[in-house]
């Protein structure tokens, strides 16, 4: 159910099943009541319930701890903006656990600010001890490094044009290391090869000790600089891309490679799924609190459907089955805990 009317009519159609979980003796709330109540709930309190849910369903020992990567990235709800053309759409900052494949936190970005000020607030809400935090280049900020280290976690932050002096110094140090074939440098290297759909992608991961770089002194906990080179070959054409990073990981090349790769899970596993399965970008809803709360509910529904591996078929098929089968709905809920 993707909007207020669909939620209301769907609930009316399965009122007997809902009665097994909640009191529906007064009937299903009207469309206006649903809209009003959801829009009054404080988003941060609903977000706490999402975090509690994520903790409850972590049955895999690797869901947290040293092997876990928590990717942080933002997503705009394009349809949620005011009637004024100058109004910005609602922008949400998400925290995604790569191991549990769940959104474990969400904060709304204020209209007059940006992700840089919202990210520390999100991290403060999370239990991230021993995890590795990854972000996009916008959030490669000294405040990000500081708050992550204060929570006893590690970070991997990409360095691009928004940090020009830092990027230049990293580039120079890697060029020097390359010219000397890394002799005399504390370094680590790893290479992976993926072959899919006629495409060959070779990824080379490098880490260098950065303790002698003066520019890194102001970055709390930073110990190393990283480089990832991606070489893609398809149809006889080859492209190459190089990205630089700073990290609080020492020379742990395996964790570095895994976390850099895991970061893209937030795009594929969360943002893409919300748009394709729930048409989130097309929702025309002006109330920002209600829109943020609906997004939390969608993420919970996405998590419940995604956790099921007992039935064949993709998530759209499972959503259709859940809409028509009370037994399968019960199965999905029980499968989470």
Confidence of residue 82 (pLDDT cuts 50, 70, 90): low
Assign 63 a pLDDT band (cuts: 50, 70, 90): very low
| pLDDT for 123 | 92
Q: For residues 251 and 225, is the Cβ–Cβ distance under 8 A?
A: no
Cα angle for residues 278, 280, 281 (degrees, 5° grid): 140
pLDDT at 311 exceeding the cut of 80: no
User: What's the pLDDT at 64?
Assistant: 46
Q: Is pLDDT above 70 for 268?
A: yes
C-alpha atoms less than 13 angstroms from C-alpha of 12 in its C-beta half-sphere:
10
Predicted pLDDT of residue 286: 74
What is the DSSP pairing of strand 69-77 with strand 90-97?
antiparallel
Distances (CA, A) of 277 to 298, 316, 320: 10, 7, 11
pTM of this structure? 0.87
Q: What is the pLDDT of residues 223-263, one digit of tens each?
A: 999 999 999 998 889 999 999 999 999 999 999 999 999 99
pLDDT of residue 283: 76
């Amino acid at each position: 159910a993707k909007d207020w009317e669909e939620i209301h009519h769907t609930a009316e159609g399965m009122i007997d099943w809902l009665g097994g979980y909640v009191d529906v003796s007064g009937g299903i709330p009207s469309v206006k009541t649903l809209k009003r109540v959801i829009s009054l709930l404080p988003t941060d309190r609903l977000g706490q319930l999402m975090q509690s849910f994520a903790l409850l369903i972590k049955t895999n020992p690797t869901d947290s701890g040293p092997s876990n990567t928590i990717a942080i990235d933002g997503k705009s709800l394009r349809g949620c903006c005011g009637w004024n053309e100058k109004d910005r759409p609602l922008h949400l900052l998400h925290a995604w656990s790569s191991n549990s494949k769940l959104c474990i936190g969400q904060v709304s970005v204020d209209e007059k600010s940006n992700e840089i000020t919202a990210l520390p607030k999100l991290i403060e809400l999370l239990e991230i001890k021993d995890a590795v935090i990854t972000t996009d280049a916008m959030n490669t900020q000294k405040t990000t490094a500081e708050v992550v280290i204060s929570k006893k976690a590690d970070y991997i932050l990409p360095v691009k044009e928004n940090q020009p002096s830092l990027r230049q110094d990293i580039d120079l140090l890697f060029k020097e290391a390359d010219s000397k074939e890394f002799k005399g440098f504390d370094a680590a290297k790893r290479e992976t090869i993926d072959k899919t759909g006629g495409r060959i992608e070779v990824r080379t991961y490098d880490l260098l000790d950065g303790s002698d770089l003066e520019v890194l002194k102001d970055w709390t906990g930073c110990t190393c600089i990283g480089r990832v080179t991606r070489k893609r070959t398809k149809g006889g054409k080859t492209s190459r891309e190089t990205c630089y990073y700073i990290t609080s990981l020492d020379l742990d090349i395996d964790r570095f490679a895994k976390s850099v790769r895991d970061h893209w899970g937030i795009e594929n596993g969360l943002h893409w799924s919300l748009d394709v399965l729930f048409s989130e970008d097309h929702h025309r809803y002006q109330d920002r609190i209600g829109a943020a709360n609906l997004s939390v509910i969608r993420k919970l529904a996405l998590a419940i459907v995604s956790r099921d591996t007992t039935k064949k078929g993709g998530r759209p098929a499972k959503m259709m089955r859940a809409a028509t089968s009370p037994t399968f709905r019960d199965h999905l809920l029980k499968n989470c805990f």
